[in-house]
């Protein structure tokens, strides 16, 4: 019963919070502007559509994973695509999580720098966060899962409470009949919205540890669904309080929206700072899971080097790479590339895997279950 | 892939240390060795006397008595300082002297040295039957028990000895508990005497399935450690793990319960106690009934409860001796004061020094007015005051009780007042520091209070470096640390994580006893149900069934 021998079992509740924890992160701050820019008043519809797509791709991911219930994607990549191509795919997967962490940490650091610590160098903000991540993920998967499970409910509750204070200032006339400008703008903003739903591809890695595999779809769907509702709530809030024109003029509309909140009149002057404080835990859980997944994916690809060493080795890379982009615009480009890779992992990759399974079974190289 | 879960956690670059053994103290399964060699007794009394004198003869308080019983030579060894001399005379010496010569045919047989070796049995059953006796055949147990205050009786011609329990028992009377006081509950606490503590627990819980096992640990001291658990409730894997860890201890002596606690708890570097010490027998029994294991240690007035979770540490005995509404209220107050005592100085510093815009405008104006004459920066101001409070607290503990209390009260008043008047600190800093210090006294157990104090300094340091951001990172670190902890296989944050709503009935709130029908599930007890709901209307049957 040594700590290290603890059995890796993700319970249904833990799965819900794990998925929610990784999805809701930096997207929470960056999402509304991207959506409202194209879809304008229909932005909240886009979010709901993106949620639908996410649920479809979740089905695909779990369909693949259930073929190999005891293996992670790292193992079945090699089984399905052969050693070389499998290794490349594994590196792609690990690299994707690496860049997911990099872009996430940098975006968070930018927000913290502008709103909280204007005179502190970016390196210190990022470096301190990375050290915290290293400590938190040091003991493996279960502590990471437990951190999500015990931390998220409180911060969600507080954020919702906070936003419900913004709603009295809402102007509901900003909304209009859906699809007034046709379906095209809604569809056009779908890919960028889907970036905010990225994260549940961790199931490729953690599916073998899920306790109730048969109900995995249901539980993960609850996690994604909650995140979707939460996003809709935020986008709708931004829309009705700021209006689309105002919203797209801001870097982070959610923060601007928080500025109009007065918790108790003349009590707290800068409510948006309070929002950032409440948002930091959500960003941190996302970084934590992606950071751990990076090390986990690398460790599974190259098991000779232990998980803890992979954490230590990836740390300086994350630090240096996250310091490379000069400004937010450049960072945005990085995020887009990472997001595109994520979209491939969500839809293209499971389809590719399924095809490969199909072909291999036809050729008799893979036993049917 | 799942099977590799153990190896992935090791700090092992390129598999260099593949053959390295796991943590030594955990893997050492063998029982600890005694410092005395394992050697059997000899048939010749002279040889035995020679052996024991060689081992213990240098001790001035080691004595012996040579007697004759039924015509055969008998020698008694004991430590003068450890035995009760009245009982020695009453239980052994006088009965032996009465039977100097043989009286019957059967006794004549016993007197022959080369006859059947039955004299020792005769003494055990008939002559020295007033005291508890134990037959030994090797030196290790014999000498160990001599050191525990027993007398060793050797008979010429027999390769065995008899241990007679005539130890002197010096014990204080049972008093009211000092650190876990209760307004309504029973006023008795454990004492340093092992047997009294066993009696106290048995008196509070007269369950025939309450099992008590003794193990001896530490190779020199051979400390008695008692393990209590309820056979059909406690999860056997916890009991097994406790026994394994106890048997793996290989040290000279155990100095108090904190020593033992540090040796057997999962993470000895953690600030958070993963084992709960308690000085109350009633608390021990209520934990036993939930499915925990209790350990008692000789010469310690505390029982150790394990496994324990963070939320169990926040419960106090009065929660169960008062109405559930009051218990719930006081639990919430305790959580609030936990937040105060850990976070207040750090939060105050980061707000004042880094983000004053989060403080209400009017308050910030008055605070600034009060601070204009203060020369020191805020962090130094708080730090100095915190150190002062710690000094005063230490003084209160170290000085004799009547002086200590008055010195700390007067010191606190004078220093606080004078520091504000001399413009060394601002009044609001004094308020913050005092509020923090008072809040930390609500910690239900003493060890947790210390944890609060250290964490407060940690968060203060984090805020000094990075303001509010550092403060939040510090909170993340503490949260992650607590989430990482596991106490004997039970996650430390249960029932928050792993989440189980049924266990929340007795965590932050306390439901009425009528509703507390289940034992905490995180302990995985053998019997989940502890009580059946009371049928309020006649003829209405309760629907709940035992999970078992």
* pLDDT tens-place string over residues A222-234: 999 999 998 888 8
In which residue are the tokens 């007890």 written? B525
Identify whether residues B255 and B337 lie together within a single domain. Answer: no
Identify whether residues B363 and B485 lie together within a single domain. Answer: yes
**Nearest neighbour of B473 by CB, restricted to A8, A132, A304:** A132
**Nearest neighbour of B477 by CB, restricted to A8, A117, A135:** A135
**Nearest neighbour of A5 by CB, restricted to B6, B13, B467:** B6
Pairwise CB contact (< 8 Å): A266 & B470: no
Pairwise CB contact (< 8 Å): B360 & A307: no
Pairwise CB contact (< 8 Å): A306 & B466: no
Pairwise CB contact (< 8 Å): A306 & B469: no
Q: Is the torsion defined by CA of B134, B140, B146, B148 positive or negative?
A: negative
DSSP strands (E only) in B82-141: 133-136
Residues of A with Cβ-Cβ distance to B503 under 8 angstroms: none
Residue B522 falls within a domain, yes or no?
no
Residues of B with Cβ-Cβ distance to A279 under 8 angstroms: none
What is the least distance, in Å, from the CA of A131 to any CA of chain B? 10
Residues of B with Cβ-Cβ distance to A75 under 8 angstroms: 1
Question: Which B residues 340-379 touch A at CB under 8 Å?
Answer: 354-355, 357-358, 360-362
Pairwise CB contact (< 8 Å): B497 & A308: no
Q: Residue B274 sits in which domain range?
A: 194-308
Phi, psi of B62 (to 5 degrees): -90, 120
DSSP conformation letters of B325-383:
HHHHHHHHHHHHHHHHHHHHHHHHHHHHHT-GGGS-HHHHHHHHHHHTT--S-HHHHHH
DSSP conformation letters of B444-497:
SSHHHHHHHHHHHHHHHHHHHHHHHHHHHHHHHHHHHHHHH-EETTEETTTTTT
Q: Tell me the mean pLDDT in the region A169-177.
A: 73
Tell me what pLDDT residue B35 has.
63
Residue B383 falls within a domain, yes or no?
yes
Classify B66 as helix, strand or coil.
strand
Pairwise CB contact (< 8 Å): B11 & A309: yes
Identify whether residues B300 and B330 lie together within a single domain. Answer: no
Tell me what pLDDT residue A253 has.
83
Spatial distance between the Cα atoms of A50 and A39, rounded to a whole number of angstroms: 13
Tell me what pLDDT residue B34 has.
60
**Which of A20, A65, A105, A143 to probe the B interface (max B CBs under 10 A)?**
A143
Is the minimum CB–CB distance between B467 and chain A shorter than 8 Å? Answer: yes
**Nearest neighbour of A14 by CB, restricted to B11, B486, B498:** B498
Spatial distance between the Cα atoms of B167 and B88, rounded to a whole number of angstroms: 9
Q: How many CA atoms are closer than 13 Å to the CA of B300, on its beta-carbon side?
A: 22
> b/e map of B198-217 (b: 16 or more CB within 10 Å)?
eebbeebbeeeebeeeebbb
- What is the number of structural domains in chain B? 3
Identify whether residues B364 and B475 lie together within a single domain. Answer: yes
Last residue of a domain, one of B265, B282, B308: B308
Could you say which DSSP state residue A270 is in?
-
DSSP conformation letters of B134-172:
EEE-BHHHHHHHHHTTEEEEEETT-S-EEEEE-B----P
Classify B73 as helix, strand or coil.
strand
What is the least distance, in Å, from the CA of B171 to any CA of chain A? 38
Residue B111 falls within a domain, yes or no?
yes
Tell me what pLDDT residue A267 has.
63
DSSP conformation letters of B262-292:
HHHSS-TT-SS-SSEEE--HHHHHHHHHHT-
Residue among B213, B309, B296 at smallest CA distance from B260? B296
**Nearest neighbour of A208 by CB, restricted to B2, B14, B468:** B2
Residue B265 falls within a domain, yes or no?
yes
Retrieve residue B438's tokens: 């008072």
Tell me what pLDDT residue A6 has.
57
Do A10 and A206 meet the contact criterion of CB atoms below 8 Å apart? yes
Identify whether residues B337 and B447 lie together within a single domain. Answer: yes
Give the chain A residue whose CA is nearest to the CA of B241: A1
Tens of pLDDT, residue by residue over A71-119, are 899 998 998 888 999 999 999 999 999 999 999 999 999 989 988 888 9
Identify whether residues B289 and B348 lie together within a single domain. Answer: no
Tens of pLDDT, residue by residue over A23-51, are 988 778 888 787 888 777 788 888 899 99
Identify whether residues B257 and B339 lie together within a single domain. Answer: no
Residue among A307, A314, A250 at smallest CA distance from A32? A250
Spatial distance between the Cα atoms of B354 and B467, rounded to a whole number of angstroms: 6
Residues of A with Cβ-Cβ distance to B468 under 8 angstroms: 116, 273, 277
Residue B544 falls within a domain, yes or no?
no
Spatial distance between the Cα atoms of B496 and B340, rounded to a whole number of angstroms: 21
Helix (H) or strand (E) holding B132: none
Tell me what pLDDT residue B3 has.
45
**Nearest neighbour of A304 by CB, restricted to B14, B469, B488:** B14
Phi-psi region of B172 (alpha: psi -120 to 50; beta: other; left: phi over 0): beta
Pairwise CB contact (< 8 Å): A277 & B472: yes
pTM of the predicted protein model: 0.87
Retrieve residue A123's tokens: 């390196």
**Nearest neighbour of A269 by CB, restricted to B22, B361, B466:** B361
**Nearest neighbour of A70 by CB, restricted to B1, B26, B491:** B1
Residues of B with Cβ-Cβ distance to A3 under 8 angstroms: 266-267, 484, 486
Pairwise CB contact (< 8 Å): A149 & B14: no
Work out the mean pLDDT of chain A and round it to a whole number: 87
What is the least distance, in Å, from the CA of A286 to any CA of chain B? 13
Spatial distance between the Cα atoms of A143 and A147, rounded to a whole number of angstroms: 6
Calculate the CA B320 to chain-centre distance: 21
Identify whether residues B81 and B140 lie together within a single domain. Answer: yes
Identify whether residues B302 and B337 lie together within a single domain. Answer: no
Spatial distance between the Cα atoms of B47 and B49, rounded to a whole number of angstroms: 5
Torsion, CA B460, CA B465, CA B467, CA B469, rounded to 10: -100
Residue among B204, B456, B448 at smallest CA distance from B308? B448
Pairwise CB contact (< 8 Å): A112 & B13: no
What is the least distance, in Å, from the CA of A321 to any CA of chain B? 22
DSSP strands (E only) in B474-538: 486-487, 490-491
Pairwise CB contact (< 8 Å): A308 & B241: no
Identify whether residues B371 and B452 lie together within a single domain. Answer: yes
Residues of A with Cβ-Cβ distance to B484 under 8 angstroms: 3, 136, 138-139, 143, 146
Classify B228 as helix, strand or coil.
strand
Pairwise CB contact (< 8 Å): A4 & B6: yes
pLDDT exceeding 90 applies to what percent of chain A?
Answer: 45
Spatial distance between the Cα atoms of B341 and B5, rounded to a whole number of angstroms: 39
Tell me what pLDDT residue B412 has.
82
Residue B412 falls within a domain, yes or no?
yes
Spatial distance between the Cα atoms of B341 and A146, rounded to a whole number of angstroms: 25
Pairwise CB contact (< 8 Å): B267 & A138: no
**Does this complex have an ipTM over 0.90?**
yes
Pairwise CB contact (< 8 Å): A208 & B489: no
Identify whether residues B484 and B339 lie together within a single domain. Answer: yes
Which residues make Cβ contacts (< 8 Å) with residue A244, sequence separation at least 6? A36, A40, A41, A43, A174
pLDDT of A332 strictly over 80:
yes
**Nearest neighbour of A1 by CB, restricted to B267, B472, B489:** B489
Do A73 and A62 meet the contact criterion of CB atoms below 8 Å apart? no
Give the chain B residue whose CA is nearest to the CA of A301: B1
Which residues make Cβ contacts (< 8 Å) with residue A49, sequence separation at least 6? A186, A190, A193
Pairwise CB contact (< 8 Å): B1 & A71: yes
Tell me what pLDDT residue B108 has.
66
The CA R_g of chain B, rounded to the nearest whole Å, is 31
Retrieve residue A203's tokens: 């199931």
**Nearest neighbour of A116 by CB, restricted to B2, B8, B355:** B355
Q: Tell me the mean pLDDT in the region A298-313.
A: 92
Pairwise CB contact (< 8 Å): B358 & A306: no
Pairwise CB contact (< 8 Å): A116 & B354: yes
Pairwise CB contact (< 8 Å): A150 & B488: no
Query: How many other CB atoms sit within 10 Å of the CB of residue B122?
Result: 17
Spatial distance between the Cα atoms of A103 and A336, rounded to a whole number of angstroms: 10
Do A228 and A51 meet the contact criterion of CB atoms below 8 Å apart? yes
Q: How many CA atoms are closer than 13 Å to the CA of B94, on its beta-carbon side?
A: 10
**Nearest neighbour of A280 by CB, restricted to B26, B472, B489:** B472
How many CB pairs below 8 Å do chains A and B form together?
149
Pairwise CB contact (< 8 Å): A307 & B476: no
Do A322 and A109 meet the contact criterion of CB atoms below 8 Å apart? yes
Do B520 and B291 meet the contact criterion of CB atoms below 8 Å apart? yes
Identify whether residues B344 and B460 lie together within a single domain. Answer: yes
Tell me which residues of chain B have a pLDDT lower than 50.
1-10, 15, 18-33, 540, 542-548
Domains of chain A, first to last: 3-363 (1.10.4160.10)
Tell me what pLDDT residue B406 has.
83
Residue B380 falls within a domain, yes or no?
yes
Cis peptide before B105 (omega within 30 of 0): no
Spatial distance between the Cα atoms of A232 and A73, rounded to a whole number of angstroms: 31
Give the chain B residue whose CA is nearest to the CA of A4: B6
**Nearest neighbour of B13 by CB, restricted to A71, A124, A309:** A309
Last residue of a domain, one of B448, B468, B490: B490
Spatial distance between the Cα atoms of B373 and B420, rounded to a whole number of angstroms: 10
What is the number of residues in chain B? 548
Pairwise CB contact (< 8 Å): A150 & B479: yes
Question: Which B residues 9-48 touch A at CB under 8 Å?
Answer: 9-15, 22-23, 26
Residue B56 falls within a domain, yes or no?
yes
pLDDT exceeding 70 applies to what percent of chain A?
Answer: 95
Give the chain B residue whose CA is nearest to the CA of A295: B8
Do A1 and B237 meet the contact criterion of CB atoms below 8 Å apart? yes
Pairwise CB contact (< 8 Å): A124 & B488: no
pLDDT of A264 strictly over 80:
no
Classify B297 as helix, strand or coil.
strand
């Amino acid at each position: 019963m040594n700590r290290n021998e603890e059995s890796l079992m993700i319970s249904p509740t833990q799965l819900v919070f794990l998925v929610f924890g990784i999805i809701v992160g930096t997207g929470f701050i960056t999402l509304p502007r991207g959506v409202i820019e194209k879809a304008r008043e229909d932005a909240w519809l886009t979010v709901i559509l993106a949620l639908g797509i996410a649920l479809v791709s979740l089905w695909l991911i779990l369909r693949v994973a259930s073929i190999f219930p005891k293996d992670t994607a790292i193992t079945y990549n090699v089984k399905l695509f052969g050693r070389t191509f499998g290794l490349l795919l594994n590196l792609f997967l690990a690299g994707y999580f690496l860049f997911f962490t990099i872009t996430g940490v940098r975006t968070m650091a930018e927000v913290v720098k502008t709103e909280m610590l204007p005179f502190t160098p970016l390196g210190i903000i990022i470096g301190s966060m990375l050290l915290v991540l290293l400590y938190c993920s040091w003991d493996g998967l279960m502590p990471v899962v437990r951190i999500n499970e015990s931390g998220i409910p409180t911060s969600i509750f507080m954020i919702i409470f906070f936003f419900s204070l913004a709603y009295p200032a809402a102007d509901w006339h900003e909304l209009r009949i859906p699809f007034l400008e046709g379906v095209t703008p809604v569809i056009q903003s779908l890919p960028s919205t889907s970036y905010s739903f990225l994260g549940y591809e961790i199931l490729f890695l953690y599916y073998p540890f899920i306790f109730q595999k048969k109900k995995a779809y249901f539980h993960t769907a609850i996690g994604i669904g909650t995140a979707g509702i939460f996003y809709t709530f935020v986008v709708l809030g931004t829309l009705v309080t700021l209006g689309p024109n105002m919203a797209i003029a801001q870097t982070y509309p959610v923060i601007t929206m928080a500025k109009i909140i007065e918790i108790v009149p003349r009590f707290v002057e800068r409510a948006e700072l309070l929002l950032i404080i409440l948002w930091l835990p959500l960003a941190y859980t996302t970084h934590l899971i992606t950071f751990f997944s990076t090390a986990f994916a690398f460790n599974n690809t190259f098991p000779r080097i232990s998980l803890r060493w992979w954490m230590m080795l990836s740390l300086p890379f994350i630090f240096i790479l996250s310091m490379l982009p000069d400004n937010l615009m450049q960072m945005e480009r990085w995020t887009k590339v990472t997001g595109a890779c994520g979209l491939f992992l969500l839809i293209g990759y499971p389809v590719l895997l399924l095809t490969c399974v199909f072909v291999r079974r036809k050729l008799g190289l893979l036993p049917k279950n | 892939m799942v099977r590799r879960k153990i190896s992935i956690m090791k700090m092992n670059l390129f598999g260099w240390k593949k053959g390295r053994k796991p943590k030594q103290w955990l893997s050492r399964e063998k029982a600890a060795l005694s410092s005395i060699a394992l050697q059997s007794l000899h048939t010749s009394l002279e040889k035995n006397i020679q052996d024991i004198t060689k081992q213990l003869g240098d001790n001035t308080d080691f004595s012996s008595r040579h007697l004759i019983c039924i015509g055969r030579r008998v020698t008694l060894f004991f430590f003068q300082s450890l035995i009760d001399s009245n009982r020695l005379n009453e239980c052994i010496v006088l009965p032996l002297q009465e039977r100097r010569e043989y009286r019957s045919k059967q006794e004549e047989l016993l007197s022959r040295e080369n006859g059947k070796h039955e004299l020792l049995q005769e003494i055990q059953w008939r002559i020295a039957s007033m005291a508890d006796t134990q037959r030994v055949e090797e030196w290790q147990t014999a000498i160990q028990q001599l050191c525990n205050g027993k007398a060793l009786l050797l008979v010429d011609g027999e390769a065995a000895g008899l241990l007679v329990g005539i130890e002197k028992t010096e014990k204080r009377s049972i008093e009211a508990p000092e650190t876990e006081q209760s307004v309504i509950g029973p006023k008795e606490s454990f004492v340093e005497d092992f047997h009294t503590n066993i009696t106290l627990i048995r008196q509070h819980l007269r369950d025939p399935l309450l099992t008590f096992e003794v193990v001896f640990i530490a190779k020199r001291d051979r400390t008695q450690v008692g393990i209590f658990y309820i056979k059909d409730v406690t999860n056997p894997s916890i009991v097994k793990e406790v026994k394994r860890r106890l048997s793996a201890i290989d040290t000279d002596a155990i100095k108090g319960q904190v020593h033992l606690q540090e040796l057997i708890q999962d993470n000895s570097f953690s600030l958070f106690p993963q084992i709960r010490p308690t000085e109350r027998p009633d608390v021990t029994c209520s934990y036993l009934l939930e499915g925990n294991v209790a350990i008692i240690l000789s010469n310690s007035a505390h029982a150790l409860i394990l496994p324990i979770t963070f939320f169990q540490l926040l419960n106090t005995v009065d929660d169960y001796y008062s109405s559930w509404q009051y218990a719930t209220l006081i639990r919430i107050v305790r959580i609030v004061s936990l937040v105060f005592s850990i976070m207040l100085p750090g939060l105050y510093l980061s707000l004042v020094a880094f983000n004053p815009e989060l403080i209400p405008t009017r308050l910030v104006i008055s605070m600034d007015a009060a601070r204009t004459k203060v020369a020191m920066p805020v962090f130094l101001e708080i730090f100095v005051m915190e150190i002062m409070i710690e000094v005063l607290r230490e003084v209160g503990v170290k000085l004799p009780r009547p002086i200590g209390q008055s010195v700390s009260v007067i010191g606190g008043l004078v220093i606080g007042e004078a520091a504000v008047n001399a413009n060394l600190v601002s009044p609001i800093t004094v308020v913050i520091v005092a509020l923090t210090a008072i809040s930390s006294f609500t910690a239900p157990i003493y060890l947790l209070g210390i944890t609060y104090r250290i964490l407060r300094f940690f968060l203060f340091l984090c805020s000094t470096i990075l303001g509010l951001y550092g403060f939040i990172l510090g909170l993340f670190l503490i949260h992650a640390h607590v989430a990482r902890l596991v106490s004997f296989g039970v996650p430390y944050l249960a029932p928050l994580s792993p989440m189980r709503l049924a266990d929340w009935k007795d965590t932050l709130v306390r439901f009425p006893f009528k509703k507390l029908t289940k034992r905490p599930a995180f302990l995985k007890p053998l019997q989940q149900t502890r009580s059946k709901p009371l049928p309020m209307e006649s003829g209405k049957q309760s629907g709940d069934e035992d999970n078992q």
